[in-house]
């Protein structure tokens, strides 16, 4: 297939591009600073004056939207929150414009999203059918982002809104920050320790994206999380066990709030999110168990 990716140079995008190329697809990466194209990988300029990507794309089977300022980087000042929000809305609107400008609409539009849409809870289990929506900044951003993406849905184009959990990988995301205290022999429970972490290995994220592209009966919301979320205390203990480091120095909630401000909710609050759609469609996780994922990611590189 011919697949267009926005955000193809980011944490998830790089891994996804590599896998899709290996499986024989032609990839177009939309970028403000395009690199030199090679073989089946083409870079096309977008979101700049005078850039009309549709003229170079001409036609495509799949669009994947991973674009947006990372929520993991920087303190959540009002200005940074504005950049996080506007980067997602602008990119999605431009992708919809590009798709509508092509001679034929793509068959699939995969749009990144986040489980931050769901309210924090120590006891609730959320599935794709859950209707509860949190009232904080991240939830408002996710809701508007999903609404914008869904506007292109039609008989020809299937829209899949992939709600990513805490993605575990060595090149980005939350894991490097979570592991750092243990490397310094200062690891311990963050906050109450009762908050849920609905995690997923980066390899399963990539495989899930490929899965929904080819599984024609999947549309709408898809929770991209491993089947067995863990509470923060257990998660930290598992990191310590795998790294052979102590889990002993607690980090109080107040300290996290002072250090991170509103962004501290990412680690002090959590949700138990079930990947019901993936399971119902027989998606096979490579790393369903947390210890398996951590062993793979944290094992010493030879």
Q: Give 228-280 pLDDT, tens digit per residue.
A: 999 999 999 999 999 999 999 999 999 889 888 889 999 999 999 999 999 99
pLDDT in tens, 115-143: 999 999 999 999 999 999 999 999 999 99
Mean pLDDT score across all residues of the chain = 95
4 φ, ψ to 5°? -100, 130
- Identify the band that residue 301 occupies on the pLDDT scale cut at 50, 70 and 90: low
Using a cut of 0.75, tell me whether the model's pTM lies above it. Answer: yes
Residue 300 has pLDDT above 90, yes or no: no
pLDDT in tens, 34-80: 999 988 999 999 999 999 999 999 999 999 999 999 998 888 899 99
**pLDDT value of residue 302:** 55
Give the Cα separation of 79 and 146 in Å (integer). 22
User: Which tokens hold the place of 141?
Assistant: 């951003």
| Segment 168-196 mean pLDDT | 94
- Domains of the chain as residue ranges with CATH: 2-298 (3.40.50.720)
State the helix-helix crossing angle for 202-214 and 11-22, rounded to 10 degrees: 60
CA-based nearest residue to 123, from 230, 290, 271, 235: 271
pLDDT in tens, 73-119: 888 899 999 999 999 999 999 999 999 999 999 999 999 999 999 99
Residue 23 has pLDDT above 70, yes or no: yes
């Amino acid at each position: 297939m011919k697949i267009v990716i926005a955000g193809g140079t980011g944490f998830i995008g790089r891994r996804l591009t590599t896998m899709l190329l290996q499986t024989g697809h032609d990839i177009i990466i939309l970028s403000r600073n395009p690199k030199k194209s090679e073989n089946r990988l083409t870079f096309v300029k977008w979101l700049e004056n005078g850039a009309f990507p549709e003229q170079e794309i001409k036609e495509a089977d799949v669009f994947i939207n991973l674009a947006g300022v990372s929520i993991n980087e920087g303190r959540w000042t009002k200005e940074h929150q504005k950049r996080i929000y506007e980067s997602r809305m602008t990119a999605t609107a431009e992708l919809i414009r590009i798709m509508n400008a092509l001679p034929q609409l793509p068959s699939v539009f995969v749009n990144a999203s986040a489980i931050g849409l769901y309210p924090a809870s120590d006891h609730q289990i959320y599935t794709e059918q859950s209707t509860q929506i949190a009232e904080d900044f991240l939830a408002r951003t996710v809701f508007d982002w999903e609404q914008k993406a869904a506007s292109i849905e039609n008989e020809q184009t299937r829209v899949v809104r992939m709600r990513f959990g805490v993605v575990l990988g060595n090149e980005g995301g939350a894991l490097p920050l979570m592991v750092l205290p243990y490397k310094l022999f200062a690891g311990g429970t963050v906050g109450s320790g009762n908050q849920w972490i609905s995690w997923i290995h980066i390899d399963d994220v990539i495989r899930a994206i490929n899965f929904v592209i080819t599984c024609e009966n999947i549309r709408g919301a898809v929770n991209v999380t491993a089947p067995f979320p863990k509470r923060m205390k257990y998660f930290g203990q598992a990191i310590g066990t795998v790294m052979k480091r102590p889990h002993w120095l607690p980090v109080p909630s107040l300290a996290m709030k002072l250090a991170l401000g509103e962004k501290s909710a990412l680690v002090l609050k959590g949700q138990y999110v079930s990947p019901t759609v993936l399971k119902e469609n027989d998606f096979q996780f490579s790393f369903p168990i947390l210890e398996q994922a951590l062993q793979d990611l944290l094992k010493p590189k030879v």
